[in-house]
Amino acid sequence: MAHDSLYAAPPTAEAEPGAGRLATLRGLLGSWDTAIVAALVVAVLVAGLTVENFATGRNAQFLLLDLVPLALIALPMTLIVITGEIDLSVASMVGLCSTLMGQLWLSSGLSLELICVLVVLLGAVLGAVNGLFVTGFGLPSLAVTIGTLALYRGLSFVLLGDQAVADFPADWTAAMVRNIPGTSIPVVVVPVLLLALVFGVVLHATPAGRALYAMGNNDQAATFTGVSVARTKFWLFVVSGAVCGLVGIFWTLRYASARGDNATGLELTVVTAVLLGGVSIFGGRGGLLGVLAGVLLLGVLRNALQLADVDANALTIVTGTLLIASVVLPNAVADIRARLHRRRQRHPVAS
């Protein structure tokens, strides 16, 4: 009697638990998330054994500090890309928020606490502008955010020109690089992890998260099921802007410098990390675990290459190569799996 052992229902209730566990294990081992985590482990081991000073506590501190902006922006970017949209203006929003912070500190006389609140609000407004053009006027997010990428960066230089504001309070700048006592882990990593947990719960354990995947797969079908597609996407862009405001504050205080060119080029690294983490550029697929692993993998590779005195242009080449690979490989793997599935259905295994 011929049957497909992977896809046919099991003949008895006794076999079902074992078959279910086997299918789950196969799915886990064959997932993109697992592949990225494995690649991360290999990269850390190889870098630790071959790159001088990589495995030191001091380097771990700097590596994690470098990853904070990338990880923060990757959280809302993941949700945006899952819905089938993209935000390429994130780095420019960080730069504009940073310059506003510097300008206000330089000339307004406001407290730094109030300035930080205003900077986050500015980020939310900038994100709302993106969201309005995308959801209100129905324009493609790629075109809109390329435009605001240039607009926001230009406004950054209008605010401060070529000058830098650097006289921020020492206790604030020191707080950005302070470690958890007895470790090489910066304190700022803790709120990043808490925020990642919140985004993860929303995406993977709530109806709102399921709605995001539905939007990414089919906007119209999601609308028919009662999902407010336009409103949801609008607020995702607002959240992205607000997070960029937070990153602008961190960037400014970590380097004790507000400049118009802060975070230039960061958008390429963020998009690479998100796609490397298994989020489909076409929407509807991906998860935060893979994205966080992608952030770490990208950070480890760049850090190891920098320690090995690799030229900055080569780092850009590596990032671009990973971006292309992160688009091509998951789709190639999915295509191969689909072909194997169809082949099994045409030629079931004989028992």
Residue 105 Cα distances to 33, 120, 169, 175, 342, angstroms? 43, 15, 10, 18, 63
pLDDT for residue 13: 45
Q: What local confidence, expressed as pLDDT, does residue 263 receive?
A: 97
Contact 344, 4 (CB under 8 A): yes
Asked whether 272 and 319 are in contact (CB, 8 A), the reply is yes
pLDDT single digits (tens) 317-348: 888 898 898 888 877 777 787 788 788 887 76
pLDDT in tens, 44-90: 999 999 999 999 999 999 999 999 999 999 999 999 999 999 999 99
* Structure confidence by residue, pLDDT tens digits, 256-270: 999 999 999 999 999
Q: Per residue in 227-243, pLDDT tens?
A: 999 999 999 999 999 99
Q: For residue 71, which phi and psi values (nearest 5 degrees)?
A: -65, -40
- Partners of 2 in beta bridges: 350
Residue 32 CB partners (closer than 8 Å, separation 6+): 278, 290, 330, 333
Q: Average of pLDDT values for 188-196?
A: 97
The mean-pLDDT minimum among 22-36, 40-54, 126-140, 277-291 falls in 22-36
> Which residue, 65, 279, 73, is CA-closest to 196?
73
Mean of the pLDDT values across residues 184-204?
Answer: 97
**174-194: average pLDDT:** 96
C-alpha span between 47 and 246 (Å, rounded): 31
Average pLDDT over residues 80-104: 98
pLDDT confidence of residue 3: 40
Q: Mean pLDDT lowest for which of 6-10, 15-19, 90-94, 117-121?
A: 6-10
Over residues 297-320, the pLDDT tens digits come to 999 999 999 999 998 888 888 888
Cα 11–chain centre separation:
44
Mean confidence (pLDDT) of the chain: 90
